[in-house]
């Protein structure tokens, strides 16, 4: 099962087994990662699942599509490596992924 490392808003790092086929956001919720609020439930409408993809993983994760890109405009402190984690599907290709949770409460 792919392993995803989440660094939460307080800087705590946790590596979790996350099944392929669910989103990086769902993996965070299942593992109680602090700071991923996911208020819209994963429909790309709220931006409260915002995280920063580790630079080494940006190519593998890819860029946001047009809809995600416009929802990301709502995010606090958007950066070039910003993604909405509900829009990243976990797969074997992302085994080892590292994401840092953004400030989704601000």
* Interacting residues with ligand FES (CB under 6 A): 25, 38-40, 42, 44-49, 71, 84, 86
Distance, CA of 93 to CA of 2 (rounded, Å) = 8
Closest distance to ligand FES from the beta carbon of 10 (Å): 20
Q: Residue 36 burial (CB < 10 Å; 0-12/13-18/19+)? A: buried
Closest distance to ligand FES from the beta carbon of 48 (Å): 6
Closest distance to ligand FES from the beta carbon of 59 (Å): 22
CB-wise, 40 or 58, nearer to ligand FES?
A: 40
Please identify the residue of the shown chain whose CB is closest to the bound ligand FES. 86
What are the distances in angstroms from CA 44 to CA 23, 50, 63, 67, 86?
12, 10, 14, 8, 7
CB-wise, 35 or 42, nearer to ligand FES?
A: 42
């Amino acid at each position: 099962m792919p392993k995803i490392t989440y660094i939460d808003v307080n800087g705590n790092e946790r590596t979790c087994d996350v099944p392929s086929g669910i989103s990086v956001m769902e993996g965070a919720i299942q593992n109680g990662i602090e700071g991923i609020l996911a208020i819209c439930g994963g429909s790309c409408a709220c931006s409260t699942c915002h995280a920063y993809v580790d630079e080494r993983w940006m190519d593998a994760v890819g860029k946001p599509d047009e809809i995600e890109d416009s929802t990301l405009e709502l995010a606090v402190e958007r950066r070039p490596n910003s993604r909405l984690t509900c829009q990243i599907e976990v797969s074997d290709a992302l085994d080892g992924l590292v994401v840092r949770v953004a400030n989704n409460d601000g």
